[in-house]
Chains A and B, each alone.
Chain A
Amino acid sequence: MSTKEWPLWEVFIRSKQGLSHKHVGSLHAPDAEMAVSNARDLYTRRSEGISIWVVESSQVFANDPADSDPLFEPSQTKIYRHPTFYEVPDGIEHM
């Protein structure tokens, strides 16, 4: 029988209605269905979730951390994208 390692799955849990799924960790399982049932045992022993997503780790494509600066630095200088950049005269309460 096969002795090869089962694929790795990334697990995402929605903790309650109204919140998005959040990455909680990973586990091994032979297929997606069994990954969900393992995730239920491993990550929801204390009612942490009401919905589980699993994604095979090899399917996750990420940016190269070496490119982080050119990717993310430009937004740091654009502080005018935040409301706190603007002056609001005294006397105006909500804007």
Chain B
Amino acid sequence: MKEINMTALEQLFQAKIEKDIKIEPKDWMPEAYRKTLIRQISQHAHSEIIGMLPEGNWITRAPNLRRKAVLLAKVQDEAGHGQYLYSAMETLGESRDKSMADLISGKAKYSSIFNYPTLSWADIGAVGWLVDGAAIMNQVALCRTSYGPYARAMVRICKEESFHQRQGFEIMCTLMKGSKEQREMAQDAMNRFWWPSLMMFGPSDADSTHSQQSIDWKVKRYTNDELRQSFINASVPQAELIGLTIPDKDLKWNEAKGGYDFGPIDWEEFRQVISGNGPCNAERIAARKQADDNGQWVREAASAFAEKRSAKKAS
């Protein structure tokens, strides 16, 4: 049994976890807990940052000013969410610059969903409704995660994201009330984003390497499969209400389990996308690097301005 070798500090730590007492930055924590959190929070932060790109693609082409203002606000939120998460990560002693460098070098991972292209305006609807919907499902659960700064960032993010999913669903509703072409466009977006959205919850519990330990530490409060099931149960009636078809011939309500049964997920596709071979991996990293390079002179100017101002104050 593993408890036998537990040190006093570890026992104290685990006791706090059992009692749902949050772990705060200066508290003692096992190195593996710290590492797990750094990995998870940084990947989460990177996903927010990269997540701006597929939607940013449509800001200049939004169909009207209202949609444009909304999309702009949403993308700004994603930038903010990335910043909250990098801050939470820093409380664990990880450097933000190093983490961002890992993203640009391709060393760090982020959510596989953002490696799919946004080909039509309907994709912006599908991303808001399904991708943000899946993210919210995951993030609401994380509001109760055991690490204080991560939980607090999640609370704030969830509050802000509640409009993200609604605006996406509103786009889908509008298209489904439109012309035949518009309805087809919405269905096409649904067909392309449904399965990748289900993959966002990560590998099946049986194949997930980090799951059990993360559950024991209450870093994660629900398993990947539990969250995926909740997301499907919530999304199917929404799709049906507006006349969209879920692209899964095996999808069927299962009265006994009180949820939908669904067809097999193509995990080979997931593996390919997560290991760099998705449709847009290279493009996303290149865009992030370009943004970083183009921002270099701004950061330099800000530093120079700060030095000048400080010298003036001193004199």
Contact = CB atoms under 8 A, between A and B. Distances in A.
B310 A31 contact: yes
Interface in B1-49: 24, 26-28
B143 interface: no
Nearest to A30: B306
Given A42-B84, A64-B26, 10 more contacts: A1-B303, A2-B300, A5-B96, A6-B303, A30-B303, A41-B80, A42-B83, A46-B160, A62-B26, A65-B27
A8 interface: yes
Interface stretch (A20-28, A70-78, A79-87): A20-28
Interface of B: 24, 26-28, 73, 76-77, 80, 83-84, 87, 90, 95-97, 152-153, 156, 160, 300, 302-307, 309-310
The list of the 9 closest CB pairs from A to B, nearest first, reads A30-B306, A31-B306, A1-B300, A26-B87, A65-B26, A5-B97, A30-B303, A30-B302, A2-B303
Contacts of B304: 1
A42 B26 CA distance: 25
B103 to A, nearest CB: 15
24 contacts: A1-B303, A2-B300, A5-B95, A5-B96, A25-B153, A25-B156, A26-B87, A27-B83, A29-B302, A30-B303, A30-B305, A30-B306, A30-B307, A31-B310, A33-B309, A34-B302, A42-B80, A42-B84, A45-B76, A45-B77, A45-B160, A64-B26, A65-B24, A65-B27
A26 B156 CA distance: 14
Chain A: interface residue count, which band? Answer: 20 to 34
Contacts, number: 49
A29 B96 CA distance: 13
Contact of B306 (A1, A25, A27, A34): A34
Contact of B80 (A8, A34, A45): A45
A41 B73 CA distance: 12
Contacts of B307: 30
Interface of A: 1-2, 5-6, 8, 25-31, 33-34, 41-42, 45-46, 62, 64-65
Contacts of B153: 25
B93 to A, nearest CB: 12
Contacts of B152: 25
B309 A31 contact: yes
Contacts of A62: 26
Nearest to B97: A5
B76 A25 contact: no
Nearest to A2: B303
Nearest to A7: B306
Nearest to A33: B309
B95 to A, nearest CB: 7
A25 B95 contact: no
A6 B160 CA distance: 27
A41 B306 CA distance: 19
A32 B163 CA distance: 32
A62 B223 CA distance: 36
Contacts of A33: 309
A15 B5 CA distance: 48
B90 A8 contact: yes
Contacts of B27: 65
Nearest to B309: A31
Contacts of B77: 45
A64 B95 CA distance: 22
